[in-house]
């Protein structure tokens, strides 16, 4: 209950900041947070100038995110694949829940702290949240809307949709650009910054990490940053972490970041995912190949394969590439990763399906 109250104040406060009054200052050590609960060092929830967050815009975006009527068969919403309890990821390697039932080419990632994200998709193929939704909406194996005008006509004939669009953006009924903006607004409110780790960082009374968890934290800062660094636990950049030695060519999806930039050095690189809520977002990597965090850590210490674009951070010749980790260090890392679970984020009703009309 307390967590839900805190969560509510996150969104209320963050919207307030986005709409005008100056940003809340970081609480110093030993003080409970007074303003919005954002990752430490982040004082406002950013949004582009032409799409400021408004409570009505966020509410519309949330309604759209959970609306199966956006898909061609009326059964698939964004939330079909992006499940709140899984940190908005999906618990299978490759989703088959789209309108065609065919497996997607990549694993469904978490949606966490995207307000601060750089490139989106595993290869950075989408530049911003406003344009991204066009991809799942039109993809034949996701929501299958070959004709977006037909979708907008259907929404325009739905009184509830008209009412919600007009509440958010004024008279004129549903439009595609407002649909895309509202979805982006809602996704910017998917802020996770209230895990046990965060409370410890903020020095909140009664918040602490065990010796083992703190050792795991030190290890992340030492061996997993800069890639999984910062309070967001991602550098928003693209790296090859030694999963494969053979990649696609040209614009094949298995080429990774190189598919987008067409540069040889980007072959096999993928976006660094955040470690926040990682204990709840299995399976892992761009193809969901690892079912557990234990398997991920075994990959880092023993399973890496070499290739020309393997990140220099993993090279330790003459030893094979990887991250050296003892059994005890592995245990400490697993303990620390668990402290990044944010129950309020995973269960907040504010981020779940909206109440009826």
Give the shortest CB-216-to-ligand HEC separation in angstroms: 9
Pick the closer one to ligand HEC by CB: 16 or 95. 95
Query: How far from the centroid of its chain's Cα atoms is residue 185's Cα?
Result: 14
Pick the closer one to ligand HEC by CB: 33 or 256. 256
Pick the closer one to ligand HEC by CB: 24 or 38. 38
Give the shortest CB-162-to-ligand HEC separation in angstroms: 19
Pick the closer one to ligand HEC by CB: 24 or 53. 53
Give the span between the Cα atoms of 175 and 64, in whole angstroms. Answer: 13
Q: Are 191 and 117 in contact (CB under 8 A)?
A: no
Give the span between the Cα atoms of 42 and 20, in whole angstroms. Answer: 16
Pick the closer one to ligand HEC by CB: 32 or 105. 105
**CA torsion through residues 9, 11, 13, 16, sign:** negative
Give the span between the Cα atoms of 81 and 83, in whole angstroms. Answer: 6
Give the span between the Cα atoms of 52 and 19, in whole angstroms. Answer: 7
Pick the closer one to ligand HEC by CB: 59 or 97. 97
Calculated CA dihedral for residues 234, 238, 241, 242, nearest 10 degrees:
170
Give the shortest CB-113-to-ligand HEC separation in angstroms: 9
Query: How far from the centroid of its chain's Cα atoms is residue 223's Cα?
Result: 22
The label of the residue with tokens 């880092």 reads 300
Pick the closer one to ligand HEC by CB: 197 or 270. 270
Closest CA to 126 of 102, 144, 106, 140: 106
Give the shortest CB-255-to-ligand HEC separation in angstroms: 12
Give the span between the Cα atoms of 220 and 332, in whole angstroms. Answer: 10
Give the shortest CB-39-to-ligand HEC separation in angstroms: 16
Pick the closer one to ligand HEC by CB: 34 or 251. 251
- Cβ within 8 Å of residue 321, ≥6 positions away: 242, 304, 305, 306, 310, 314, 315
Give the shortest CB-29-to-ligand HEC separation in angstroms: 26
Give the shortest CB-156-to-ligand HEC separation in angstroms: 18
Give the shortest CB-33-to-ligand HEC separation in angstroms: 25
Give the shortest CB-21-to-ligand HEC separation in angstroms: 28
193 burial level (CB within 10 Å; 0-12, 13-18, 19+): buried
- Cβ within 8 Å of residue 192, ≥6 positions away: 87, 112, 113, 276, 277, 342, 345
**CA torsion through residues 285, 289, 292, 297, sign:** negative
Binding residues (CB under 6 A) for ligand HEC: these are 76, 78, 80-82, 95, 97-98, 104, 106, 108-109, 111, 114, 117, 120-122, 132-133, 136-137, 142-143, 183, 187, 223-224, 227-228, 239, 241, 243, 270, 272-273, 275, 278, 281, 284-286, 293, 296, 300, 311, 313, 323, 333
Pick the closer one to ligand HEC by CB: 54 or 145. 145
Radius of gyration over alpha carbons of the chain, in Å?
Answer: 21
């Amino acid at each position: 209950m307390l967590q839900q109250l805190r969560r509510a104040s996150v969104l209320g406060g963050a919207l307030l900041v986005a709409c005008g009054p100056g940003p809340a200052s970081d609480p110093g050590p030993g003080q409970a947070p007074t303003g919005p609960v954002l990752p430490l060092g982040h004082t406002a929830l950013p949004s582009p100038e032409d799409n400021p967050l408004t409570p009505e815009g966020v509410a519309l975006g949330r309604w759209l995110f959970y609306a199966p009527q956006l898909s061609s068969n009326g059964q698939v919403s964004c939330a079909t694949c992006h499940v709140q309890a899984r940190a908005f990821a999906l618990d299978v390697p490759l989703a088959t829940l789209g309108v065609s039932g065919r497996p997607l080419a990549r694993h469904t990632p978490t949606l966490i702290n995207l307000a601060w994200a750089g490139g989106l998709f595993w290869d950075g193929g989408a530049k911003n949240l406003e344009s991204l939704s066009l991809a799942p909406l039109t993809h034949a194996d996701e929501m299958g809307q070959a004709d977006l005008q037909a979708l907008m006509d259907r929404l325009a004939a739905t009184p509830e949709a008209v009412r919600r669009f007009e509440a958010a953006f004024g008279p004129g009924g549903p439009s595609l650009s407002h649909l895309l903006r509202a979805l982006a607004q809602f996704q910017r409110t998917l802020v996770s910054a209230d895990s046990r780790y965060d409370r410890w960082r903020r020095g909140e009374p009664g918040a602490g990490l065990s010796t083992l968890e703190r050792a795991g934290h030190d290890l992340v800062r030492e061996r997993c940053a800069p890639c999984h660094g910062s309070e967001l636990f991602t550098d928003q950049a693209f790296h090859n972490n030694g999963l494969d030695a053979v990649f696609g060519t040209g614009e094949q999806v298995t080429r990774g970041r190189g598919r987008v930039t067409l540069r040889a050095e980007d072959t096999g690189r993928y976006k660094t995912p955040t470690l926040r809520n990682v204990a709840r977002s299995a399976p892992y990597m761009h193809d969901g190949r690892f079912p557990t965090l234990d398997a991920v850590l075994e990959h880092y210490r023993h399973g890496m394969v070499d290739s020309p674009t393997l990140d220099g951070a993993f090279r330790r010749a003459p030893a094979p590439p990887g991250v050296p980790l003892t059994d005890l260090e592995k245990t400490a890392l697993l303990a620390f990763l668990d402290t990044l679970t944010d129950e309020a984020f995973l269960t907040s009703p504010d981020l779940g399906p909206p109440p009826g009309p």
